[in-house]
Amino acid sequence: MIDGTFNLDKLMKSTKKIQEIMQKAQKELSKIEVTGESGAGMVKVTLTAQHEIVSFILSDELFAEKKEVIEALIRAAFNDANRKITKITQEKIISSGKLFGNEEDKN
């Protein structure tokens, strides 16, 4: 509300623009796959940006380890991939026009 008036048209245009920016970012993210590793590459897990597993690779030498070690390495690889996805997602959202601070709006 500026000067006691409410500009519904401007609000609707801004909302539509934000939706378009977010849809574009989501489309770009849907194409991204990230690989997390642990145990010097003995465990590799590849995830999509939606956190779905694309591939899961265990080195043959890993099976000589105890169950607890294998479980810990699987968790570590999955967490590594998740951290990478989170970082990429945040960067993509920030770089997609910064929503309200888009350069086009400043002209």
Give the domains, in start order, of the chain with CATH numbers. Answer: 30-95 (3.30.1310.10)
Tokens 């003995």, located at residue? 42
The residue that leads in pLDDT, 56 or 92, is 56
Q: Nearest to residue 15, comparing CAs of 27, 26, 5, 7?
A: 7
pLDDT above 80: residue 59: yes
The residue that leads in pLDDT, 92 or 58, is 58
Q: Nearest to residue 44, comparing CAs of 83, 71, 67, 76?
A: 76
Tens of pLDDT, residue by residue over 12-49, are 888 888 888 778 877 888 899 999 999 999 999 999 99
Grouping H, G, I as helix, E, B as strand and the rest as coil, residue 92 is helix
Amino acid 106: pLDDT: 44
Q: Name the percent of the chain lying above pLDDT 90.
A: 50
Cross-strand pairs, 47 = 34, 53
